[in-house]
Amino acid sequence: MAGVDPNTHVELEGVSKRFGGVLALNGISLKIERGSIHALVGENGAGKSTLGKIVSGALQPDDGRLLVRGEPVTFRSPREALASGIAAIAQELSIVPQLSVAENVFLGAEPRRAGWVTRRALRKRYDDLAASAGFALPAERSAGRLRTAEQQQVEILRALSRDTDLIVMDEPSAALGGPDVERLHEIIRSLARSGKTILLVTHFLREVLQLADRVTILRDGQLVRTTAASQETEDSLIQGMLGRPLGAAFPARPQVAAEAPVALSVRDVHAPGVLGVSFDLRAGEILGVAGLIGAGRTELARAIFGADPRTAGTVELADAGELGGGPGASLRRGLAMLPESRKEQGLVFGRSVIENVSLSSLRGVSRGGVVNRRAERAAAGRVLEGWALKGDTDAPVASLSGGNQQKVLFARMLMCSPSVLIADEPTRGVDVGAKRAIYDLLVSLAGRGVGVLLISSEIEELLGLAHRVLVMRAGRVVTELGQEEMSESAILAAAFAEREVAA
Amino acid sequence: MTGSPETAAPREPAMRRPELPDWASGRLRSAGIVIPFVVLFIVLTISSSSFATKVNLLNILDQNAATLIIAAAGTLVLVAGGIDLSVGAVYALAGVVSAELAQHMAPAPAILIGVLVGFVVGIANGIVATYFRISALIATLAMSFVIAGIGSLITHGNLVVLFTHPGFGNLTHTEFLTVKTSIWIMLAAILVLGLFLARTTVGRYMYAAGGNAEAARLAGVNVNRVRVVSFMLSGAAAALAGVIDASRVLSAQAGNGESLTFTVLAGIVVGGTSILGGEGAVWRTVVGVLFIALIGNGYDLLGLNPLYEQITLGVIMLLAVGIDAWARQRST
């Protein structure tokens, strides 16, 4: 037995985690050095968030061990991890909006005397903490009135207040604008300088290269490599994440015929979060929509589809005229939408694959209101054909992997034979193989003349698939980029344009 | 310093552990109530000679005809993601209305109007619980007070007696193939409701609406309309049940249905239909209601202390719901 390496803060040995039929992590072994910024990168579904959650106690490994300071530990909850000095800052922030900043920071650990919170002691401890952390927020301001970046700082302070020496941050900059990202990076660096260890889960590769000391690449739940960040480039990281150079990840786009008619015409659409968007989508075209979280992309999709009411503006389908009414009306007239979250908005998890596929076109396989189950099965079978869907089509959808669930949802759309498909984050939480299958499908739909509106947070996806990209910010389309002008930097520059405006 | 070989190269895909796939535990659950039902049936057959007789079994069906009809329709409400706590009150009101009318007119229109009352109350329940966005629990509970009040107003708190109008009793007392019409009506209602839920498009929409309302809506299902239909059927079924019982005993009273709502819910839940919506079946409810009925019958036939009957029922309900929650947790 080798002695405990004092520089190793946390070590994972052969950690595996399975969700239903999917192996999310497969035998991961990894050392995280004390006082370092250690980044985890990988595609969506590669297992990086899962790994972060295992370190912070939110998930338990099925296999393997976790060692903190050389001691094997078993965290049954985040609370137990906290007792070992490990805290997590999740993508969804958990502050209580009605309470003040200081109250939020010490939530659940308020200084109290005989059950009463002593406000003066609370304030003093907050000031001490802020001084040692090197950044401060107004203690008495109610947390609900803070900006996202500041709410995140509240969470960081909260983590520090519990004497944490390792903070797991899951996509901390995803919801932030330009200057806030810089500020966050400064805070992370100063935390590392003061001896805290940071485990950074992120898909912003530039952030990794700027910030991290070491980086671990995951792909399909497997560890690809752990190296010093200084030895990596964006290209080498992408290659590691995809297992191949970026170009090969996408099928060739069919050309949009110059005379292709407009399939969907959106004019000055207003809805909550959408402030006047107009565009034309041509038949056979894949139109990408980029933007940061909160830029209004999903809101736009829902407003076009009729999932949320439009407050102004018109949506017109070439084949069916102006659209009004809800999702049912849109579907009947040839506009389908693949929703952002297949779990919350897409699938009925307890029901079978067949029932989920036929749900939107049940009338087509029914007579007199009675479902013809043989016709239903045949029609669903036709759209599922070629998907290589593994598993029983009578089994509940819940038993399928994320990629297969997404295929079921796509099959539902196909069964409606839409003329326009809105796909909102179609590859979220899907493994690499299924991703390619979804890309192929989108391209083949476009090849058959379907207009595709593709919303994605993965810029590579837009670069690889779209003929044109609209960049949204604060509810508006700020830039339109043709295929020649598209690049990661052009899209990011437009998405973060706030910075340029402010300067 | 360097890790073992395993850490460098990715391991073989981890072996599958030999455990039940998630959907299999779901199927086990769906068959769950049948096993205890069959066991209880066999035990009672062995321990009491008067149990497995035609008279006793038909008696059980006759006595539980009302409960079975209401519970069958209540299954649709639960599957669609609602709950109907007004069925007891509707049952009483329909009984009272049809009994009052039968004193002045022919039985057939009196019966029809009674059922129509439930139909209308059901639609009102559905609209309040969907378009007005009031939780179904509260909406139907409030409605049950209103309806009970109306029932008392109609009868002035008295028992409505129909012994002088025996024609009203023909609805349920007529025998067909040596079985009472009350049982035939009950069987027909169960069959229709069961097929409606399992085979029609609206039935499918009910599962989708209760399983994931937002997903159903985005898939083009009019969730509110589907739920209104479920409440409408529940109201009509409760009213039919009330009329049937008024005919069976040739009397009706405004306070008749007070404990019925919970007997019905108990049957549905014991059968394995989830109170969280999206799962369940009419046949399961039938088994659940009959299971509870057999327990009561067993206590009578074996001369057990009836004070323990309710305790038994409560424990069984907790077990049923507990198993449901356990299975759900496993499948997510």
Residue A301 has pLDDT above 90, yes or no: yes
Q: Which residues pair with B325 in a beta bridge?
A: none
pLDDT tens, position by position, B172-229: 888 888 888 999 999 999 999 999 999 999 999 999 999 999 999 999 999 999 999 9
Q: Choose the most confident range, by mean pLDDT, from A141-155, A178-192, B1-15, B194-208.
A: B194-208
How close, in Å, is residue A166 to chain B by CA atoms?
23
The pLDDT value given to residue B10: 35
Task: Report the chain B residue with the minimal C-alpha distance to residue A346.
Answer: B215
Cβ separation of B220 and A327 shorter than 8 Å? yes
Give CA–CA dist B14/B31, Å, rounded.
32
Choose among B109, B145, B147: nearest CA to B243.
Answer: B109
Q: What is the pLDDT of residue B329?
A: 64
Tokens for A323, please give them. 């659209």
Give the three-class secondary structure for A479: strand
Q: Mutation test of the interface with chain B: which of A359, A400, A421, A422, choosing the one with the most B Cβ atoms within 10 A?
A: A359
Residues of chain A found within 8 Å of residue B27, distances taken between Cβ atoms: none
Q: Between A498 and A145, whose confidence is greater?
A: A145
Q: Is this structure's pTM higher than 0.90?
A: no
- Residue B194 to residue B56: CA distance in whole angstroms: 26
pLDDT of residue B3: 37
Contacts of B272 in chain A (CB under 8 A): none
- φ, ψ for residue B48, nearest 5 deg: -135, 125
**Segment B95-120 mean pLDDT:** 92
Q: Average model confidence (pLDDT) for chain B? A: 86
pLDDT score of A478 more than 50? yes
CB contact under 8 A, A26 and B13: yes
As a whole number, mean pLDDT of residues A214-233 equals: 90
| Residue A6 in tokens | 């004092």
| pLDDT per residue as tens digits for the range B125-145 | 999 999 998 899 999 999 999
Question: pLDDT exceeding 90 applies to what percent of chain A?
Answer: 41
pLDDT bin (cut points 50, 70, 90) of residue B22 is: very low
Please give the pLDDT value at position B28: 54
Looking at residue A177, what is its pLDDT? 66
pLDDT in tens, A118-170: 788 888 888 888 887 777 788 888 888 888 788 888 888 888 888 889 999 98
Residue B332 in this model has a pLDDT that exceeds 60? no
C-alpha–C-alpha distance, residues A201 and A237, integer Å: 14
Q: What percent of chain B has pLDDT over 90?
A: 56
A327 shares contact with chain B (CB less than 8 Å) = yes
| DSSP reduced 3-state for B121 | helix
Widest pairwise Cα distance in chain B = 99
Q: Tell me, yes or no, if A225 comes closer than 8 A to chain B by beta carbon.
A: no
Percent of chain A with pLDDT over 70: 93
Q: Which of A434, A23, A46, A39 is nearest to B11 (CA)?
A: A23
Instruction: Tell me which residue of A43, A40, A50 sits closest to A19, measured CA to CA.
Output: A50
Q: Out of A52-66, B20-34, B199-213, which region has the weakest mean confidence (pLDDT)?
A: B20-34
Q: Which of A148-152, A260-264, B52-56 has the lowest mean pLDDT?
A: A148-152
With bands split at pLDDT 50, 70 and 90, how would you rate the model's confidence at B1? very low
List the one residue out of A148, A150, A146, A151 whose CA is nearest residue A95: A151
Question: What are B74-106's pLDDT values in tens digits?
Answer: 999 999 999 999 999 999 999 999 999 998 888
d(CA B98, CA B93): 9
Confidence label for A241 from pLDDT (cuts 50, 70 and 90): confident
The confidence band for B258, taking pLDDT boundaries of 50, 70 and 90, is: confident
Quote the pLDDT of residue B268.
93
